[in-house]
Amino acid sequence: MNTMVELPEEDSPDLTDEEITGAIEAKTPEVMAEVFAETKCRVCQGKVMVTRHQLRKRAPLHYARILFVCEDGHQGSVTFRASFLGGSP
């Protein structure tokens, strides 16, 4: 697959089983954008802003983790099973 980002080749030790179990299926980057646009802070329900994107792997799948912060400074993340990056369940 030809992507503009470098995909991890090895499993990511910081990707937890909890993140994998709760990962949201994303067949396209647009799905990720739509879901994130609706994401609210889990603490105060405020709007959130992206602070970082991370690509992770747990063979054979790739995951995208979006880290965010809300207007009040609470931090959080949302993890997607990024099937558009390749791999099969």
Q: Over the stretch 5-33, which tens digit does the pLDDT of each residue have?
A: 788 889 999 999 999 999 999 999 999 99
Question: Is 78 a domain residue?
Answer: yes
Can you tell me the distance from the alpha carbon of 24 to that of 42, in angstroms, rounded to the nearest whole number? 16
Question: Is 13 a domain residue?
Answer: no
Mean pLDDT taken over the chain: 91
Structure-token match 């099969």, residue found = 88
Question: Is 22 a domain residue?
Answer: no
Question: Is 62 a domain residue?
Answer: yes
E-strand spans in the chain? 24-26, 48-58, 61-70, 75-82
Domain that holds residue 57: 40-89
How many domains is the chain partitioned into structurally? 1
E strand or H helix that includes residue 70: strand 61-70
Poorest-pLDDT segment among 1-10, 27-36, 40-49, 79-88: 1-10
Question: Is 57 a domain residue?
Answer: yes
Question: Is 9 a domain residue?
Answer: no
